[in-house]
A and B are shown apart, each in its own frame.
Chain A
Amino acid sequence: MKPEVIKELNEIFGEDRCKTNPSDVYVYGFDAGIHRSMPDAVVRPMNVQEVQKLVLLANKHKVPIIPRGAGTALCGHSVPIDGGIVVDMQGMNKIKEIKVTDLYCVVEPGVVCDHLNAALKPYKFFIPGPASSEAATLGGMMACNASGAKAAKYGATRDYVLGCEAVLPTGEIVHLGGRCLKNASGYQLDRLLVGSEGTLGVVTEIILKVAPLPAKKAAVVPYFDTLRQAGEVVAKIIAEPILPSQLEIMSQTCIQAVNKATGMCLQECAAILLIELDGHPAAVIDEVKVVRRICEELGALDIDYTEDESRIAELWKGRKQMIPSLSSLKEEYATVMLADDMAVPMSKVPDALEAFQEISDRYDIIIPSYGHAADGNLHTKVLMDPTNPDHWKQAEKAVTEVFEAVLRLGGTITGEHGVGITKAPYLFIERSEAIGALKAIKRALDPNNIMNPHKIQEWEEGFVTHLRYPVEAS
């Protein structure tokens, strides 16, 4: 990077909040995905004016800037492919306002999801978060349209963003949406920023809707001989109609991994459902009865039940840490973030799970399946030796087959994690007719292509590239 750029960065941020030394900068070349590439500098803005100055500087010098929250995104979202300046937003972490009587709160983008929920709890409100909620920032969640296990009942981040302040790629500070629950004043540009993965602007403040905490929760955990049985139970519960607050499905490999990593004693069988019901106490008790009956009728091997909040929290903690848990399953294998969050229409969940199992069986890698069955969002990961080039070749083929199966079933390649780099090749298949429009939006808003370049529709290579693992020569 040119010395004058560094000089100007130091003028904006001071040496304390601008790093260009190789060691501090090296760490920002990685996120929780499979890719990495080094930035030239990292800065930590503390307010919108600093962000604006940075964006103007980036335009002047045509240097890429890459907004970043906690760096937990899974597809190389914040990996600086062309170097440039990483904008670490974690320092902007103030909760500015909580106004539950108007059902909203205002936060800076670096606030961690769990920290916001801790602050909302005394008011008896919350916002639903992803499994990474203890680390992920609200800016990252908005930019990825993150959602978690509660999405079927409570929605995704997009359903909570009422408005935001952002610096557009050309440097204008804009205020989009607002503090009202309803807003029809023109193009919903705040919605455009949701899921834009840092390619259309830097979000500097977010107005979020809040949801009331339910008065009671109960968990039903049925065990099954086959994945298909579990899938049928899901369909029947929804058709009842009952909308569980969480409904997760775990295959045998995942059950083993969670038991091993957490010491939980889930029964090992072909499939488990973790069903959480919440709401008014009387309604919860009625729904539990119905859910139990459905599980019994459809041949559950056994059913666990609890109303104990701490036991429920423990169950979800086990499920939430599935990704890292899988990594400790087999010594020489690691969890590799591939084909990680497809979604299919709910009725197709059993077909999808069987298709994934069949693909996994044909390759020398393990593809465990788990996911949010109530919204059709299925997770797989690839367990492989990421230093072995042959495994990458197999993974590439298997992943392609997984995505093909999902699209055949009328699904999407990503229900919640987004596209980044890793899923871009398949976006071109899923959204082939919309790629032109997506590119036109990017060009219109970011004429100098400085804002997190080469992501989503702008990535036109395969995904086995810029790997963060030391792949041995084949």
Chain B
Amino acid sequence: MKVKHLKKWKNELITCTMCGYCKNVCPTFLDIGWDSGSARGRNVLAYGMLTEELEPDEVAALRLYQCTLCLDCLRRCPSKVNVPEIVEAARADIVDAGLATAAQKEMIDTVKQAGNIYGTSETRVPPQEGDITLFLGCQYLERPNQVKVILNVFNKLGIKPKIFEEVCCGVPFRNLGFFEDLEKHKEKFLASLPTRELVTFCPTCTLFLKEEYDLPITHATEIVAEKLSGANPKKLNIRKLDIKATYHDPCHLGRGIEVHEAPRKILEAIGITVKEMPLNKTTTRCCGGGGVMLISDAPLAGMVAKKRIEQAAATGVQELTTSCANCVGTLRTAAQASGESGSRMKVRDIWYWLWQALK
């Protein structure tokens, strides 16, 4: 089969020296075990498809969709071979070959029809006017209680946020390789924006809005950290929580756009002492739920998450906090499912703790 989307990656695929530095950083390789389930292996599959030596099939599709797009291979690669984008391009060719799964197609259809990943067009959060414009993203909008907590926090900090009728940023189209649909969706998304300057929550949306649309984005933790750093704690009535927790950097926040100090400053300000896992900030380890893995291979996502929970447990604390609704979901499920090592680990969003300190 002649590929279309991988063509532009020919140079990178040849430049890859096959050094293997991206093997052991790849969270999915550690659980899949086969070289075809590693970052380097995915490059080779893409190379085979590009040179037409390898006819894409269900196994190639599976291996490529088993990537969480965590970006750790790109960080580690001294040749700066962009494996995650190569994987996405390969997925686009897999889609063209008619090998996307029913679940993947269903998600795409949902976003096409409803404008979001959860599939209902009802307004989850009533629009309101304000001074900064929030882009909550589908992952948070899908969890209205969390949005309430976020709004409470903003309210308490004296920030009035504007809320508008959001349309999904379109990242599932790119992650799953539906590139043509993405182009159409982008117009819809851009038309929905009241302004280009957005304050975001979901790390994946944040990275995508910067990269795909070149929008001037600020992650919400940066705004809150700044507010807390300049503020008089007494005036804000911050209750120091006096808790020890580990902080999990979401890949697209800690590594993708390197926002890792802001969440830590917030935690410090509210009295949470962070016990770091050895893999933190830009070297963070994926929760397992990236790259729309939960619909491509949920058991694998669970295995990757379990490893992260074990790393958290090794710090000796029983609280894990993070700044991503998707990470919270994946890690919480793994913590509940895992045995002795992680079952006592509580997984909570940073917004939960902020509200505990401010309410």
A104 within 8 A of B: no
Q: How far is the CA of A335 from the CA of B54 in the complex (A)?
A: 24
Chain A residues with Cβ below 8 Å from B44 are 26-27, 30
Residue from the set B36, B45, B78 with the largest chain A CB neighbour count within 10 Å: B78
Q: Which of A156-164, A211-219, A324-332, A348-356 contacts B (4 or more CB under 8 A)?
A: A324-332
Contact B59 A21 (CB under 8 A): yes
Chain-A contact segment, one of B11-19, B131-139, B209-217: B11-19
Binds A, one of B20-28, B175-183, B228-236, B294-302: B20-28
In the complex, what residues of B have CB within 8 A of residue A114's CB?
24
Q: Shortest CB–CB separation between residue B91 and chain A, in angstroms?
A: 14
Decide: A23 and B54 in contact? CB cutoff 8 A. Answer: yes
Complex Cα gap A343–B53 (Å): 38
Given A21-B57, A261-B80, A328-B78: A32 and B33 within 8 A (CB)? no
**Given A24-B36, A90-B33, A262-B78, also A30-B18 (CB < 8 A):** yes
Q: Give the chain B neighbours of A328 by CB distance below 8 A.
A: 15, 78-80
Report whether B11 and A22 are in contact in the complex, using a CB–CB cutoff of 8 Å: no
The answer for the CA separation of A42 and B33 in the assembled complex, in Å, is 12
Residue of A nearest to B22 (CB): A135
- Cβ-defined partner of B19 (8 Å) among A21, A135, A334, A470: A135
Say yes or no: A42-B20 contact (C-beta < 8 A), given A21-B59, A325-B79, A327-B15: no
- Selected contact of B45 from candidates A26, A70, A132, A136, CB within 8 Å: A26
B20 touches A135 (CB 8 A): yes
In the complex, A455 has a CB within 8 A of chain B: no
Contacts of A24 in B (CB 8 A): 34, 36, 59, 63
Q: Is A112's CB under 8 angstroms from B24's CB?
A: yes
A321 touches B54 (CB 8 A): no
Which residues of chain A have C-beta atoms less than 8 A from B18's C-beta?
30-33, 71-72
Query: Does A308 sit at the interface, judged by CB under 8 A?
Result: no
Q: Is A19 an interface residue (CB 8 A)?
A: yes
Contact between A70 and B20 (Cβ–Cβ < 8 Å)?
Answer: yes
| Bound CA span A328–B45, Å | 21
- How distant is A388 from chain B, measured CB to nearest CB, in Å? 11
Interface residues of B in 34-57 (CB under 8 A from A): 34-36, 41, 44-45, 48, 51, 53-57
Q: Is the CB of B33 within 8 A of A324?
A: no
Answer whether residue B305 sits at the interface, using C-beta atoms and an 8 A cutoff. no
Contact of A323 among B17, B24, B48, B56 (CB under 8 A): B17
The contact string, 1 if C-beta is below 8 Å from chain B, for chain A 103-115, is 0000000001010
Residues B63 and A22 in contact, CB atoms below 8 Å apart: no
Task: Fill in one digit per residue for A316-344: 1 if any B CB lies within 8 Å of its CB, else 0.
Answer: 00000101110110011011010000000
Choice from A30, A44, A261 contacting B78 with Cβ under 8 Å: A261
Residues of B within 8 A of A469 (CB): 14
B257 within 8 A of partner (CB): no
Also in contact, A387 and B63, with CB within 8 A (given A21-B57, A262-B78): no
Contact A135:B80 (CB < 8 A) given known A23-B36, A26-B54, A27-B45: no
Contact A323 B57 (CB under 8 A): no
B29's closest neighbor in chain A, by CB? A90
A323 touches B36 (CB 8 A): no
Complex Cα distance, B80 from A335, in Å, reads 13
Q: Does A83 contact B (CB under 8 A)?
A: no
**A134 contacts which chain B residues (CB < 8 A)?**
21, 24
Q: A21-B57, A27-B44, A135-B24 are in contact. Are A323 and B19 (CB under 8 A)?
A: yes
Residues of chain A with a CB closer than 8 A to B17's CB: 32, 323-324, 327, 334-335, 337
Bound complex: CA A149 to CA B24 (Å) = 22
Point out the residues of chain A lying under 8 angstroms from B16, CB to CB: 327
Chain B 69-95, CB-CB to A under 8 Å as 1, else 0, gives: 000000001111000000000000000
Query: Closest Cβ of chain B: how far from A255's Cβ, in Å?
Result: 14
The answer to the question of A386 belonging to the interface, with a C-beta cut-off of 8 Å to chain B, is yes
Q: Are A44 and B21 in contact (CB-based, < 8 A)? A: no
Alpha-carbon distance between A429 and B60 when the two chains are bound, in angstroms: 43
CA distance A22 to B36 in the complex (A): 11
A447-474 interface with B by 8 A CB criterion: 469-470
Cross-interface CB contact of B35 among A71, A321, A323, cutoff 8 Å: A71
Give Cα A396 to B36, complex, Å: 31
A433 CB to closest chain B CB (Å) equals 35
Q: Give Cα A42 to B36, complex, Å.
A: 11
B 135-159 to A, binary, CB cutoff 8 A, 1 in contact else 0: 0000000000000000000000000
Contact of B63 with A470 in the complex, beta carbons under 8 Å:
no
**Known contacts A323-B19, A334-B17; is-contact A91 B80 (Cβ 8 Å):** no
Chain A residues with CB below 8 A from B51, complex form: 470
Contacts of B21 in A (CB 8 A): 132, 134-135, 321, 324
Contacts A331-B11, A469-B14 given; indicate if A27 touches B24 (C-beta within 8 A). no
Q: Give the CA-CA distance A19 to B257 in the complex, in Å.
A: 38
Q: Which of A25-44 contact B (CB under 8 A)?
A: 26-28, 30-33, 42, 44
How far apart sit A23 and B24, CA to CA, in the bound complex (Å)?
21
CB neighbours of B60 from chain A (8 A): 23
Minimum distance in angstroms from A380 CB to a CB of chain B: 14
Known: A42-B34, A135-B21, A261-B78. A23 touches B15 (CB 8 A): no
Candidate in B15, B51, B53 with the most chain A CB atoms within 10 angstroms: B15
Instruction: Knowing that A71-B18, A469-B14, A470-B14 touch, tell me 12 more A-B residue pairs with CB under 8 angstroms.
Output: A21-B59, A23-B45, A23-B48, A23-B57, A24-B59, A27-B44, A32-B18, A324-B19, A327-B16, A331-B11, A334-B14, A386-B14
Q: Which 3 A-B pairs have the closest CB atoms?
A: A135-B20, A321-B78, A324-B78
Show 26 residue pairs from A and B whose CB-CB distance is below 8 angstroms, ordered by the A residue. Answer: A23-B60, A23-B63, A24-B59, A27-B35, A27-B36, A27-B41, A31-B18, A32-B17, A33-B18, A70-B23, A72-B18, A88-B35, A132-B19, A132-B20, A132-B21, A134-B21, A136-B20, A324-B17, A324-B19, A324-B77, A324-B79, A325-B79, A327-B79, A332-B11, A334-B15, A386-B14
A residues neighboring B (CB under 8 Å): 19, 21-24, 26-28, 30-33, 42, 44, 70-72, 88, 90-91, 112, 114, 132, 134-136, 261-262, 321, 323-325, 327-328, 331-332, 334-335, 337, 386-387, 469-470
